[in-house]
Amino acid sequence: MKERIYKALLGRYQNQMEEAFLKIDALMEGDVVPGHEDLTGSIDKLLDKVSHAKEKMAILRQYYGTN
């Protein structure tokens, strides 16, 4: 059970990062026009999401990883 929870949490954080990177790429490429003009603010918020997910993954691995 512990291993399944661990893998589910890692997957969640990886998905959060991938979703944020996808949105950042779309904003950088000009593929998506956001509802406002603050592109840098939008990207900054997305990078914040990446940072939090990466930090959570590191903590999970450090304290609960099997490796």
Write the single-letter amino acid at 34.
P
- What are the CA-CA distances from residue 60 to residues 16, 17, 45, 56 (Å)? 15, 15, 23, 6
Q: Mapped to the 3 state alphabet, what secondary structure does the chain carry?
A: CHHHHHHHHHHHHHHHHHHHHHHHHHHHHCCCCCCCCCHHHHHHHHHHHHHHHHHHHHHHHHHHCCC
pLDDT tens-digit map of 3-61: 999 999 999 999 999 999 999 998 888 876 656 678 889 999 999 999 999 999 999 99
Written as one letter, the residue type at 42 is: S
pTM flag (> 0.85): no
What's the mean per-residue pLDDT of the chain? 90
